[in-house]
Structure 1
Amino acid sequence: MADDRLDALAPLFQAGGYHHIAPPILQPADVFLDLAGEDIRRRLFLTSGQDGLDLCLRPDFTIPVARNHLAEGAAAREAAYFYSGLVFRQRPDELGEIHQVGAENIGRTDRLAADADMLALSVEAVDKLGGRAPAIRVGDEALFIGVIEALGLPKVWRRRLRDLFGDRKRLDRAIARMAGSEAAEKDARLGFLAALEGADPDAAHAVVEDLLSIAGIEAVGGRSAGEIAERFLEQAALATGAGIGPQTAATLTRFLDISGRLDEAGAALEAFAKDAGLDLSGPISDFRERAKLIAERGLPIEAITFAADFGRRLDYYTGFVFELHDAGAAMAHPPVAGGGRYDKLLALLGAGEDVPAVGFSIWIERIAQGAKA
């Protein structure tokens, strides 16, 4: 731990069964390029080793902790870790060094209780660091996935919307395109792509990327080959009439607009599902149970808000997410802490199966700034 304030957190984490971990600062870059999403990819500090391996300064702790977990035993075993140190991200007009402290819990199968415990632990940790009583915002990507699956959207659109979840402006633009405002004309090229649309979306995406690679196309107008492939497949879906109508677009937007107190959000979600004729009983039931467990942890429900369009812009998050904001700051300001559930990360790192995992990170500098305000 770096100073006395951080030393105070060690007993808190250790009492909960968390073990200290210190992943190396230098990490293989390809792991982050493949898994961390655009939010981090554009901010990496890149270098290379003598063997030519592309390396980066660690931009977060979650992936390094997960890699270490995999290296030391069975992926699905239950383990809990805490950490403190620097992460490195390029930031306009700011230092690239960011001091973080946080925790990760891997392998715990009682997911809803683990979510509630992790949120409670983050609130207690922020309090011990001197942060003012936080305003808490939560979201749940599982609800959004339930909506787009219940609507029966084409695979390429489901994939695209999941990729954009958490970025409301881009999500709204994508929904507008799906509604046919940019419908493509049919031609032979789109006919070929349309044939791929009904196949496995990952396989179809890979085929298009391979074709672009064979043609020597790596980037056009700032878009990567993967982004170009995604655009092609979207255009193919529109050309074959696989977009959505205005009513479906309005349904998606109405869901994304749901927000309010956590203890009232369950009723709002049920009313939406009934009105839209969608079966969301599974994710709504989980949502209600998690809210109940959060209240049982003694957290101030009146200070917790739910936003249906809130997601963390990292590709490995899969369900419940949360942010803690300084009570004296507007919600638009950067959070002092954030985290959530990422059950697919270990599988993407080679575990061979999804492994339940949830965690959070605290930005020390933001707490310090709030304390001075």
Structure 2
Amino acid sequence: MTATPPDARDLDQSLAALLAGAGFARSEPPLLIAADLVRDLVGEALARRLYLTGDGDGAELCLRPDYTIPVVQMHLEGARAREAAAYSYLGPVFRQRPGLPGEFRQAGIELLGRADREAADAEVVSLALKGARLYTSGPLTLAMGDVGIFLGLIDALGLSPAWRRRLAKDFRRSGGLAQDLRRLAEPPATGPSRAGLLAALEGSDPKAARELVTDLLSIAGITTVGGRSASDIAERFLEQAALGSGGLSPDKVAVVEKVLAVEADPMSAERDLRAIAAAAGLDLSGPLDRLARRNALLAEAGVDLTNARFSTSFGRDVDYYTGLVFEIGDASGKVDKQLVGGGRYDRLTDMMTAKLGLDIKVPAVGCAFWVERLALAGGRS
């Protein structure tokens, strides 16, 4: 007699059991969370897809668009905020998705407070692959990157803080980086083109300049433009003033382009990046040593890195990733979107601790399982 194959919900529960068995305690955060908190953390693309509502006091709320923010918030507001903790989840999340249901199920893990970052990274990637294998025996792809390498590169180049922020933001969105690299290679603007308020702000004390621009907007009766506050507009003025000063030599821009062009298995990528950095006289030992340690730990965990692809230009579409980023895909072509995705998001916890007034650092790495896509990849629905 042939055994009945498990259906998708049975596999979801098998995944939940796997995560719990690996030491990730089940978390059940609220369905409703503060909309402003989500907007501040996830970026415009996801913020536009929120389902919004309000409470009796007029506070704007949204249905959780994923689990990461409410799980991290629960941890930071709890008694264990200063301790390492591992959480798992499985349940509904809500996003506006044209042509698709706005409610769907998601599973995942969040590993918080672990100081051994590379070991935590390797644990999450290894568990993500094991979870995906519950659903399908077919071929899987593993794409990896490391935002920290690019951040280390722009620090090593000695760029101004404004340019470092601009390029870091460019890296996390499509279309802007190549244009800004060309702009960096141009000589600094001089003469009449720098006249006016931007030229007056260039090089001035940031606090005084911000207050000046805010006051000028207030005098003109401008409080918001396109949803941006006067303070936001002032920050934009200051950024434009700073971006007008100084540039980067074409040879250094070429180094950035070489770094971003690296794509190979993770071990070969590390060697290629060290060679580029040495030839350019740039110290990237910190992020590359971390990459090497993560590679070694992944290999020890049984992850076949020879078939993984590491790309220096690979990022994810939210601003809070700071190190490892990865996606697991379906190599058979049944599902063309990621099956599992995640990475290191220390910047998210930094922003949240600042909002909560906590003077702590909470390293964080995790991933989300798109269980509906995993079921499709395994031929189940």
- Which TM-score applies when normalising by structure 1? 0.89
Aligned counterparts of 2:88 and 2:72: Cα–Cα separation in 1:
12
d(CA) in 2 for partners of 1:115 and 1:206?
42
Deviation digits for residues 42-98 of structure 1 (CA, Å, limit 9, x no counterpart): 221222111110111111111100001012214220111110112112223322223
1:288 corresponds in structure 2 to 292
Counterpart residue type for residue 165 of structure 1: F
Q: Distance in 2 between matches of 1:129 and 1:159?
A: 40
Residue of 235, 245, 248 corresponding to 2:240: 235
Q: Does 1:273 align with 2:277?
A: yes
Given the alignment, which residue of 40, 45, 59 partners 1:39?
A: 45
Please say if residues 336 and 363 of structure 1, whose CA atoms lie closer than 8 Å, have aligned partners that are also in contact.
yes
Q: Distance in 2 between matches of 1:98 and 1:180?
A: 47
Q: Cα offset for 1:231?
A: 4.9
* Match status 1:359 vs 2:366: yes
Distance in 1 between residues matched to 2:166 and 2:280, nearest whole Å? 22
Shift in CA distance, 367/269, structure 1 to aligned 2, threshold 3 Å: same
Give the partner amino acid of 1:336: L
Return the letter of the residue paired with 1:37.
G
User: How far does residue 148 in structure 1 lie from its aligned partner after superposition?
Assistant: 0.2
Aligned residue type for 2:315: G
Distance change in 2, residues 1:16/1:207 (3 Å): farther
Q: Which residues of 2 match residues 40-55 of structure 1 at below 5 A?
A: 40-55=46-61
Paired residue secondary structure (1:11): helix
Whether the 8 Å CA contact 2:202–2:241 is kept in 1: the answer is yes
Q: Which residue of 1 aligns with 2:4?
A: none
Q: Is the 8 A contact 2:149 2:288 kept in 1?
A: yes
SS class of match (2:287): helix
Distance 1:211 1:104, change over 3 A: farther
Instruction: Determine the C-alpha separation between the residues in 1 that align with 2:217 and 2:319.
Output: 23
Report matched runs for 1:168-247 at 5 Å: 168-180=174-186, 183=189, 185-196=193-204, 199=206, 212=217, 215-220=221-226, 231-240=236-245, 242-247=246-251
Tell me by how many angstroms 1:235 deviates.
Answer: 3.1
How many Å separate the matches in 1 of 2:277 and 2:236?
A: 30
1:338 corresponds to: 341
8 Å CA contact 1:133, 1:327 repeated in 2: yes
Structure 1 counterpart of 2:375: 368
Larger Rg: 2
AA partner of residue 237 (structure 1): A
Kindly state the Cα deviation for residue 353 of structure 1 after the two structures are TM-superposed: 2.5
1:279 is paired with a residue whose SS is coil
Matches of 1:206 and 1:258, distance apart in 2:
43
Q: Establish whether residue 263 from structure 1 lines up as the match of residue 270 from structure 2.
A: no
Asked if structure 2 preserves the Cα contact closer than 8 Å seen for 1:111 and 1:356, the reply is yes
Distance 1:150 1:34, change over 3 A: same
- How far residue 234 of structure 1 moved from its aligned partner, in angstroms, is 4.2
- Deviation, 1:247, is 2.5
Q: 1:5 to 1:283 in 2, by over 3 A?
A: same
Structure 2's unaligned 5+ residue stretches are: 1-7
Contact map agreement 1:339 1:360 (CA 8 A) in 2: yes
Q: After the TM superposition, which residues 295-334 of structure 1 pair with which residues of structure 2 at under 5 Å, given as runs?
A: 295-329=299-333, 333-334=336-337
CA distance in 1, matches of 2:361, 2:206: 23
Q: Is the 8 A contact 1:79 1:106 kept in 2?
A: yes
Which position in structure 2 is the counterpart of 1:347? 350
Query: CA offsets, 1:203-250, max 9 Å, x none?
Result: 977975786577425235x8886875565344323433x232322322
Partner of 2:163: 157
Gaps of 5+ in 1: none
Check 1:270–1:297 CA distance in 2 against 1; reply closer, same or farther (3 A cut): same
Residues 12 and 371 of structure 2 are in contact (CA less than 8 Å); yes or no, is this contact kept in structure 1?
A: no
Identity of aligned residues (%): 42
Alpha-carbon deviation of 1:117? 0.6
Equivalent position amino acid for 1:251 in 2: V
Whether the 8 Å contact between 2:53 and 2:60 is mirrored in structure 1 is yes
Distance change >3 Å, CA 229–CA 38, structure 1 → 2: farther
TM-score (normalised: structure 2):
0.87
Do residues 250 (structure 1) and 254 (structure 2) align?
yes
Aligned partner of residue 47 in structure 1, secondary structure: strand
Aligned-pair CA distance for 1:271: 0.9
